[in-house]
Each structure stands twice: as C-alpha cells, then as structure tokens.
Chains A and B, each alone.
Chain A
Amino acid sequence: MNATENRVTKLVQKEYEHGFTTELETDTLPPGLSEETIRQISARKNEPEWLLEARLKAYRHWLNMSDPEWAHVKHPPIDYQAISYYSAPKKRGKGPKSLDEVDPALIAAYHKLGIPLQEQKALAGVAVDAVFDSVSIATTFREPLAKAGVIFCSFSEAVQDHPDLVRSYFGSVVPYTDNYYACLNAAVFSDGTFVYIPKGVRCPMELSTYFRINEANTGQFERTLIVAEAGSYVSYLEGCTAPKRDDNQLHAAVVELVALADARIKYSTVQNWYPGDAEGRGGIYNFVTKRGDCRGDRSHISWTQVETGSAITWKYPSCILRGDGARGEFYSVAVTRGSQQADTGTKMIHMGRNTKSTIVSKGISAGLGQNTYRGLVRMTPKAENARNHTQCDSLLIGDKCGAHTFPYIEVKNPSAKVEHEATTSRIGDDQLFYCRQRGLSEENAVSMIVNGFCKEVFRELPMEFAVEAQKLLDLTLEGAVG
C-alpha cells in the first residue's frame, strides 16, 4: 500500500454515530424459542386465532429447515435459544396511542437520531412510524393521511383494525416457506408497518418507518406490508440504527409489497445498523427478505437501498413482474468497511409481456470489508419482449478488501433481451492528485469521487434521504480511504 492509500484508509475509520443506548423500563420475554414463546408474543398482541395458527405453522416448518450456506459471508452459528424474541418499552397508559402517552425518553431517543416525532417539528411532508425493538411506539400524521384514505399504522394495529386486508395479503408475496429467515420471521414477528393506498390515490406525503434496536440480546423481527391499489402511488422510506454492543444481534425482517394495475411503489432504505467495531466484534446480522409483487399490468416497484451498516447484510429486494408492462427497479449502494460483509442484490422475475427491469448496484469495499452482489434475472417463457439491464460496479479502497459479483441470468424467451455489465475499479492515484492539485483535501476528494460513483443510485432517493445518504456515506468513509 502506498502512502496515499494509507492515508485514504485512515480516512474511512470513523466511529459509529448512533451507538447510544436508552434506559427504559421494558417488557421483555426471556431468551428462548418455543411454541410457548410464540403463543406469548401472539397473546401480548391480542391476535386473532388465524394469525397464531399461521405463526405456529411457520414455526413447525422452520424447525425442519437449516441455515442457508450459499451466501458469501462467514459467521459463527446463531444460537436461536439465546435470543429474546420480544421486548417493548412499558406503556404508560392504555387506549389509543397518542404522543402524550409515549415515554419522553423514547421521544428523546428518536430526537437524538434526528427523527422528531412531534408533528410540528417533523420534516414537512414525511409521516413516520417509529418502531422501537419489538413494537411501534408512534405514528405521525395519521389524520391528514386518513383523510386521503391512506392507512398508515403499525402492523399490530392493522391486525386489529383491518383484519381482512391484512389476512388477504399477509404472506402472499413472501410465503413462510420461502427461506429460513423469512420463515423464522413468520413465526415470531412482533411489529412493523402496514400501508394501504386506495385505488387512484396518490399518497399526499412520504411515509417512513424508523427502526431502532435498543435492548441487548433481542432480535428484531418486523414485518412490513404495503398494498397499492390500482392507479395509486406511494413513496416509502425506512431507516435503521442500533446501539453499540459486543454481541451480534439478529434482525430478520420481511417486507411484502403488492402493486396492482398502474400502481407505483417507491421503497427506499437507508440502513445504518451498528456495524460492529474495527475488529469485527458485535454488530447487527441483517438478514432480510424483501419482495415486491407487480401483480397488475403496468405496475411499477422500485427498490432503492443505501446499505452502510450491519456486520452482515443478507438481502435481495426483488420484483415479481407478473403484470404485462410491469417495471421493476433496484438501485443499491452497499458499503463494507472494517470487517463488514454484505451479500446483497436482487431478483427480477419476468413473467408478463413487455416487462422491464433495471438494476444498478454500486459496491464499495474498504478495510477488510467483503462486498458481494448476487442477482438473478429470470425471463420465463411468457415474458415476451422483456428487457433487463444490469450494471454492477465495484469500488475497492485498500488491498485487503474484496468485491464479488455473482449474477445469474436465466432466459427462456428469445424475444427477451438481457444485458449485464460489471466493472471493478479503485480510486486512482491520478484522480486524487487531480483533485488535490485543485485545492481539495484528500478527504473531500475521496468523498466527491465516492459520491460520484454512487450518483445514479442517490438520485433515485427522495430529496431528504438523498442528503442523509450522502452524509452517511461521508461519515462511513471518513478515515476509510486507502
């Protein structure tokens, strides 16, 4: 490594910003997983019988499954009995949730994360559902949304208030049999967000969920379900952080999206879970199943993700392009530094005629980070005139990291056209020299080059998030360049 690289490497060693913990009284289940655990979670949520049955069915199936081994990641086996599957801040009162009843310590915690929950202080035009450990603690702007007919609430509330909607879509995109972690989630999920956009409605504001893991030794298993009826539109954002702890914590979420004819769902993620320390101690295992079903003709689902946190990221936000003319998009920036590992990408399953998908993946590896793009593009025999374009670029910073690209392309229809391109590069000495000659500091130069590299993805993010993502990337790479 030359001198420039050394300095650049130092640039990317920045401390994690959101590592604080919040002291609260909590209702936490003891560690362990059994049918009894599941019954207790279900009871705490006062769930209907069918949902408990669905959980138990998933649990019994899960017992016969084994951890997936195909991903390009390494971790010691997870002891599922050592995890607590439910932890919630103790409620101050009963009845309908209002912000006044939320523990001020919680509001303060979110404030510290830059997410004010008081509506008058909130970002204009962004409604927030705040999920703390296993439960949703507050959802803002419910009134104006309700006027538009939009349902935006915690998953638990939806089960109580809109049972038919939940029941008809729950598990219809990601069945419990799908994979090991999705199956576990189906058994033990605690809370999450439910969104329903009625026919022809353009959701009047951005919706967002902010996930926070606080309690030690707990897993977070949330479940998000978004249904966009014909001709509707919604833009949804999620953010995530967690305290610094020496143990690994499991986050195994499931996200299901359903878009009916001409509906559009834009789903953006800025994932900044605690990544572990420089030696690879601690950090979140982010094992997430996200899938969108473009059920209707001309429906359109876009996934945009900026993945900077987590010790291990394992996620493949996917689109099933069922309707004719449906579109799927995946824009991703994944950063691994320190000892972080990411195995992420997407699946685009083309079933309808004239379906179109776009994949843009930008991987940045620094330190000992290992960054893998894994993607599947499948053109089924009926996908007449389907199109896919994939661009996977890797940027390597330092000589001890890795960047890997594992695309799978399956074409069973000759009229389909698939193009896949991938490149690997590093920040050139000549690029740094050029910037510094013009007076920019090395740090500034690196940040500019990295942001330039990620530009195609950032411009897909809603404005407020694009700025946050860019800042996050700067922080993440501060001291990392090498």
Chain B
Amino acid sequence: MLSIKELRVSIEQKSILNGLNLEIGSGEVHAIMGPNGSGKSTLSQVLAGREDYLVSGGEVLFDGLDLLALETEERAHAGLFLGMQYPVELPGVNNMTFIRESLNALRRARGEPELDAADFLRRVREQAQLVGLDQALLKRGVNEGFSGGEKKRNEILQMAMLQPKLAILDETDSGLDIDALRVIAGGVNGLRAADRSIIVITHYQRLLDYIEPDRVHVLVGGRIVRSGDKQLALELEQRGYGWLDEAAA
C-alpha cells in the first residue's frame, strides 16, 4: 500500500527526515511514536503534500503511484487522508457543504457519479452520530469555534465519509479526555478494513490501548530507529525515549 524509501526532507535548510524507510501493507495499522521534534508531523505533512517542505531525496510509492509527484488534492483523490493535529477553521464555509464537496471531488476524480443530496444527508448524519459529533455542528462553519474534541471528531467524520485507502491520523488523541478518546478510537476501529491502511501518529501509548496496531515504529532524529509489535509501545511508555537516543547513536 505504502512504501517509503530513504526519504529526506528539510525545511528552511534544517533537515528533519534523514533517510526514512517504511513499508505498510494493505489493511495494516501502524503506529509511529517518537519524542517532540523527531519528525512525526513532518512525515504526515509531506505525505499529504504540504508545500513548505523540501524533499531532497528518496521515494514514496502509494498503491503503485509516485506519491511525491502528485498535487495535494490528487493524493486525496488517490485515497490518502490526513487527520490533522490542528484542523484549521474555515469561517463561514458550511461544514456539510464542505464535506459534500470533498466527497464529490473524490468521486468525480474516480469517474463515479456524484452522490445525490438525500443519500449524502443520510450518510453524513449517520456517521456524525457514530463519531459523536453534535448534528448542529454540521451546519456551522468548518471547525469554526469548535472545541478541540469537536474538531477531532469532525476529522474522523470526514475520514468515515471519504473512505480513504490510507488514513494518517496525526496526534488525533491530543487534547482529548478519555471518553472522547474512546469514541474516536471506536470510530477508527470501525473503519478498519482489509483494503484500508492506517497510520496512527501519537506521543503516548494511551491511544494504542484502544486502537491496536499491527506494528509500532519509533521515529527519532528523522529516522525509524526501532520497529516492533505493540509491546514496543508499552516499553516506551515505561522507559521513555532516552534509551533509544543512545541506541540510535
């Protein structure tokens, strides 16, 4: 599904990713953990096509496509979804309209017919209920004045609507209380499927109690320094990241 080879990325001449390698198979859930500043968010932004970063080396294949050659929206059309750590507000842009436009843009790109309004409405209401997003928020501006938790729920709702092949969830757990975390994890788990891969980027092991990963990777200094099964996450929880720095060095 996703194959990253020797990816090197810098921003304003500061190198962030230094030859990162990662293979994710279809239907797998991978967790990427790591200390602050290790490059976790950079990785997710670069995969989604944020322009502020300079890719100086390496390649990324997504479902056989040269991902880095695609525009941001083309990656979305190809089935890549990034659940953002800080979802932006779009004042005055109706949330429901936005989601419908996104969905139809994807469908058009795939040569599928646009969803009819009633169908869409039913589906979005259903999904909102599943992720515990207040229906009233569908009528507001996208993320406009939403609380931290509401923004995250809105992200998962969009993921559920867009049905991506690969979902990258960047610190989806940050700023959530335990109940919200459960609901969101439930939403994510509900989307696990044989043809859908998920990357969960997180700081803490906590989220992984709810979303059980197939693989756990530790990112330090712009490289994956260790990979393992979910035991690795527990180990990190107990020992912190310090011992890995030494291991990396």
- In the complex, what distance in Å separates the CA atom of A148 from the CA atom of B201? 68
Query: Is A452 touching B92 in the complex (CB atoms < 8 A)?
Result: yes
Query: Is A438 touching B76 in the complex (CB atoms < 8 A)?
Result: yes
Q: Which of B50, B93, B103 contacts A448 (CB 8 A)?
A: B93
Query: Is B92 touching A444 in the complex (CB atoms < 8 A)?
Result: no
Chain A residues with CB under 8 Å of B241's CB are none
Interface status of A456 (Cβ within 8 A of chain B): yes
- In the complex, what distance in Å separates the CA atom of A452 from the CA atom of B52? 25
Query: Is A428 touching B88 in the complex (CB atoms < 8 A)?
Result: yes
Using A2-B51, A452-B141 as known contacts, say yes or no to A437 and B76 having CB atoms under 8 A apart: yes
Query: Is B93 touching A437 in the complex (CB atoms < 8 A)?
Result: no
Chain B residues with CB under 8 Å of A433's CB are 48-51, 72
Interface residues of B in 90-115 (CB under 8 A from A): 90-94, 97-99, 101-103, 105-106, 109
Interface status of B71 (Cβ within 8 A of chain A): yes
State the Cβ distance, A256 to closest chain B Cβ, in Å: 33
State the Cβ distance, B166 to closest chain A Cβ, in Å: 12
State the Cβ distance, A363 to closest chain B Cβ, in Å: 15
Query: Is A439 touching B92 in the complex (CB atoms < 8 A)?
Result: no
Query: Is B92 touching A440 in the complex (CB atoms < 8 A)?
Result: no
Interface status of B82 (Cβ within 8 A of chain A): yes
Q: Point out which of A428, A430, A435, A442 has the most chain B C-beta atoms below 10 A from its C-beta.
A: A435
- In the complex, what distance in Å separates the CA atom of A438 from the CA atom of B167? 12
Interface status of A451 (Cβ within 8 A of chain B): yes
Using A429-B52, A436-B49 as known contacts, say yes or no to A455 and B73 having CB atoms under 8 A apart: no
Query: Is B162 touching A438 in the complex (CB atoms < 8 A)?
Result: yes
Query: Is A452 touching B93 in the complex (CB atoms < 8 A)?
Result: yes
- In the complex, what distance in Å separates the CA atom of A433 from the CA atom of B103? 16
Query: Is B93 touching A449 in the complex (CB atoms < 8 A)?
Result: yes
Q: Determine the residue in chain A with the shortest Cβ distance to B103.
A: A439
Query: Is B93 touching A439 in the complex (CB atoms < 8 A)?
Result: no
CB-defined interface of A407-446 with B at 8 Å, one 1/0 digit per residue?
Answer: 0000000000000000000001111011111111110100
State the Cβ distance, A79 to closest chain B Cβ, in Å: 43
Interface status of B87 (Cβ within 8 A of chain A): yes
Interface status of B158 (Cβ within 8 A of chain A): yes
Interface status of A453 (Cβ within 8 A of chain B): yes
Using A4-B51, A439-B73, A439-B77 as known contacts, say yes or no to A434 and B84 having CB atoms under 8 A apart: yes
Q: Which of B71, B87, B97, B105 contacts A434 (CB 8 A)?
A: B87
Query: Is A454 touching B92 in the complex (CB atoms < 8 A)?
Result: yes
- In the complex, what distance in Å separates the CA atom of A180 from the CA atom of B51? 51
Chain B residues with CB under 8 Å of A63's CB are none
Using C-beta atoms within 8 Å of the partner chain, give the interface range for chain B: 20 to 34
CB-defined interface of A1-15 with B at 8 Å, one 1/0 digit per residue?
Answer: 011100000000000
- In the complex, what distance in Å separates the CA atom of A453 from the CA atom of B84? 23
Q: Determine the residue in chain B with the shortest Cβ distance to A427.
A: B90
Chain B residues with CB under 8 Å of A431's CB are 88, 90
Q: Which of A4, A428, A441, A452 contacts B105 (CB 8 A)?
A: A441
Q: Determine the residue in chain A with the shortest Cβ distance to B94.
A: A452
Query: Is A439 touching B87 in the complex (CB atoms < 8 A)?
Result: no
Chain B residues with CB under 8 Å of A440's CB are 73, 101-102, 105
Chain B residues with CB under 8 Å of A430's CB are 88
Chain B residues with CB under 8 Å of A442's CB are 73
Q: Determine the residue in chain B with the shortest Cβ distance to A440.
A: B105
State the Cβ distance, B143 to closest chain A Cβ, in Å: 9
Q: Which of B50, B51, B76, B141 contacts A439 (CB 8 A)?
A: B76
Chain A residues with CB under 8 Å of B109's CB are 439
CB-defined interface of A389-406 with B at 8 Å, one 1/0 digit per residue?
Answer: 000000000000000000
Q: Point out which of B48, B72, B82, B91 has the most chain A C-beta atoms below 10 A from its C-beta.
A: B72
Query: Is A453 touching B88 in the complex (CB atoms < 8 A)?
Result: no
Query: Is B88 touching A434 in the complex (CB atoms < 8 A)?
Result: yes
Query: Is A448 touching B88 in the complex (CB atoms < 8 A)?
Result: no
Q: Determine the residue in chain A with the shortest Cβ distance to B82.
A: A437
- In the complex, what distance in Å separates the CA atom of A428 from the CA atom of B162? 24
State the Cβ distance, B134 to closest chain A Cβ, in Å: 20
- In the complex, what distance in Å separates the CA atom of A439 from the CA atom of B82? 11
Chain A residues with CB under 8 Å of B141's CB are 452
State the Cβ distance, A409 to closest chain B Cβ, in Å: 25
- In the complex, what distance in Å separates the CA atom of A439 from the CA atom of B94? 16
Q: What are 12 residue pairs bridging A and B, where the CB atoms are less than 8 Å apart in the complex?
A: A429-B51, A430-B88, A435-B90, A437-B72, A437-B75, A437-B81, A437-B82, A439-B103, A441-B105, A448-B93, A455-B92, A456-B92
In the complex, besides A4-B51, A439-B103, A440-B102, 20 extra interface pairs with C-beta distance below 8 angstroms are A431-B90, A433-B48, A433-B72, A435-B98, A436-B71, A437-B48, A437-B73, A437-B76, A437-B84, A438-B99, A438-B102, A438-B158, A439-B109, A439-B162, A440-B101, A451-B93, A452-B90, A452-B94, A452-B141, A453-B92
Which residues of B does A touch, CB under 8 Å?
A: 48-52, 71-73, 75-77, 81-82, 84, 87-88, 90-94, 97-99, 101-103, 105-106, 109, 141, 158, 162
Which residues of A does B touch, CB under 8 Å?
A: 2-4, 428-431, 433-442, 444, 448-449, 451-456
